[in-house]
């Protein structure tokens, strides 16, 4: 394969329906203080600015999701302190995850996790496995991958694309973000492989964000851009790009209702990527519980539902324990797929 560089404070009130005196009164007081103390030790809420680290550049799907999370947290006053977005692209997620590693036990910093970092670890391009090395607090949504060409491209359908790439796999540069071997790369390579394309010979360029890869597509620097749906909706509605296929099992709705699935194009392939949030290692159960409940509240808002509808993403909330199990299961399932794409290091 040719690679191109490019919270809540608990209060307890004890009401006694009769008078207690002496040692009994003292005992009751001690018990009351003990219960209140234990409850206080098990509750938490942020006490300063919260930082959400985005392992990609501005304007892409990860950045859009993070900024919507920030908007809802701020407008709904769910945190009580400012929320800051930090874009830290590079290293297949490593630069962003270094922030979590450096702030162990600090529940005021979170980072985004996707299937891309699972495959990056399998491929050997990322030396941390986020859901094991950090704390998976929640899964929030599922995204599908679309394949885009310029509106004036001679490639009109997914069948046209398959035919050309079967004949000459290296002939059409493909843009992905943010790394070769991530979920977006898999989202296009999986169906192409199922269609008989030698995906190991594809020419793939990695960009800092899918926003950047779309700019490169429009500028004629690449012929194809694979991206999650949030990056394609606006350009597609404006008539700037043609969407050849989507990786979902069924057609999406809204602005993307006319985009065929790969199965409709005659290729038996389905793929989706989950997006969630991580906390550093060493955070307390109370901190995990606070963030889990806050994110559950966030995903029930009208603003979040509208965000998913606009981007044609699918609601998929999993709390801490379920999210950790989910990521582990998906990690194991992706091993064979990454190997098939010849992305694992020797």
pLDDT digits (tens, 9 = 90+) for 153-178: 999 999 999 999 999 999 999 999 98
Alpha helices of the chain — where are they, by DSSP H?
A: 22-41, 61-75, 94-102, 115-123, 130-133, 158-167, 183-194, 210-218, 233-237, 285-298, 302-311, 320-340
- The Cα 326–Cα 340 span in angstroms is 22
Q: Answer whether 278's CB lies under 8 Å from 134's CB.
A: yes
Q: Answer whether 175's CB lies under 8 Å from 226's CB.
A: yes
Burial code of 132-156, b = ≥16 C-beta within 10 A, e = fewer? Answer: eebbbbbbbbbbbbbbbbbeebebe
pLDDT of the residue at 121: 93
Which pairs with CB-CB distance under 8 Å and at least 24 residues apart come from 332-340?
334/115, 334/118, 334/119, 334/122, 334/186, 335/122, 337/119, 337/186, 337/190, 338/119, 338/122, 338/123, 338/181, 338/186, 340/193, 340/199
The strand pairing partners of 314, in sequence order, are 142
* pLDDT, average across residues 202-221: 94
**Res 216 pLDDT > 50:** yes
pLDDT of the residue at 27: 39
- The Cα 57–Cα 52 span in angstroms is 13
pLDDT of the residue at 344: 58
Question: Cα dist. 27→10, 23, 57, 216 in Å?
Answer: 22, 6, 59, 73
pLDDT of the residue at 238: 97
Confidence label for 338 from pLDDT (cuts 50, 70 and 90): confident
- The Cα 9–Cα 45 span in angstroms is 8
The region that residue 13 occupies, defined by phi over 0 for left and psi between -120 and 50 for alpha, beta otherwise, is beta
pLDDT of the residue at 18: 32
pLDDT of the residue at 50: 98
**Res 100 pLDDT > 60:** yes
Q: Answer whether 119's CB lies under 8 Å from 180's CB.
A: no
**Res 17 pLDDT > 90:** no
pLDDT of the residue at 343: 65
pLDDT of the residue at 168: 97
- Please choose, from the candidates 174, 177, 151, 152, the residue with its C-alpha nearest in 3D space to the C-alpha of residue 164: 174
Compute the mean pLDDT over every residue in the chain, rounded to the nearest whole number: 88
pLDDT of the residue at 200: 87
pLDDT of the residue at 339: 81
Write out pLDDT tens, residues 264-276: 999 999 999 999 9
Confidence label for 3 from pLDDT (cuts 50, 70 and 90): low
pLDDT of the residue at 13: 31
- Please choose, from the candidates 114, 64, 67, 69, the residue with its C-alpha nearest in 3D space to the C-alpha of residue 92: 114
């Amino acid at each position: 394969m040719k690679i191109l560089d490019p919270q809540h404070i608990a209060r307890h009130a004890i009401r006694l329906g009769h008078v207690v005196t002496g040692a009994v009164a003292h005992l009751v007081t001690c018990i009351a203080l003990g219960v209140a103390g234990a409850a206080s030790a098990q509750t938490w809420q942020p006490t300063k600015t919260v930082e959400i680290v985005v392992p990609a550049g501005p304007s892409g799907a990860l950045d859009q999701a993070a900024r919507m999370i920030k908007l809802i947290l701020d407008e709904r006053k769910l945190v009580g302190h400012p929320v800051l977005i930090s874009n830290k692209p590079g290293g297949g997620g490593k630069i962003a995850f270094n922030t979590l590693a450096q702030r162990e036990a600090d529940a005021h910093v979170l980072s985004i996790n996707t299937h891309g970092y699972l495959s990056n670890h399998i491929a050997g391009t990322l030396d941390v496995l986020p859901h094991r090395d950090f704390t998976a607090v929640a899964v929030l949504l599922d995204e599908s991958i679309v394949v885009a060409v310029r509106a004036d491209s001679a490639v009109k359908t997914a069948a046209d694309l398959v035919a050309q790439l079967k004949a000459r796999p290296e002939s059409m540069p493909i843009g992905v973000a943010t790394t070769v071997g991530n979920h977006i790369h898999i989202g296009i390579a999986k169906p192409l492989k199922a269609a008989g394309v030698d995906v190991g010979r594809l020419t793939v360029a990695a960009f800092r964000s899918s926003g950047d890869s779309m700019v490169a597509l429009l500028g004629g620097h690449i012929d194809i851009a694979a991206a999650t749906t949030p990056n394609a909706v606006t350009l597609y509605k404006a008539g700037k790009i043609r969407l050849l296929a989507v990786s979902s099992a069924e057609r999406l709705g809204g602005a993307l209702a006319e985009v065929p699935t790969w199965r409709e194009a005659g290729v038996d392939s389905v793929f989706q990527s989950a997006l969630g949030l991580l906390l550093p290692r060493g955070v307390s159960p109370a901190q995990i519980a606070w963030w889990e409940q806050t994110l559950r509240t966030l995903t029930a808002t009208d603003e979040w539902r509208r965000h998913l509808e606009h981007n044609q993403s699918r609601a998929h909330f999993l709390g801490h324990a379920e999210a950790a199990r989910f990521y582990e299961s998906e990690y194991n399932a992706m091993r064979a797929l990454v190997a098939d794409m010849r992305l694992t290091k020797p």
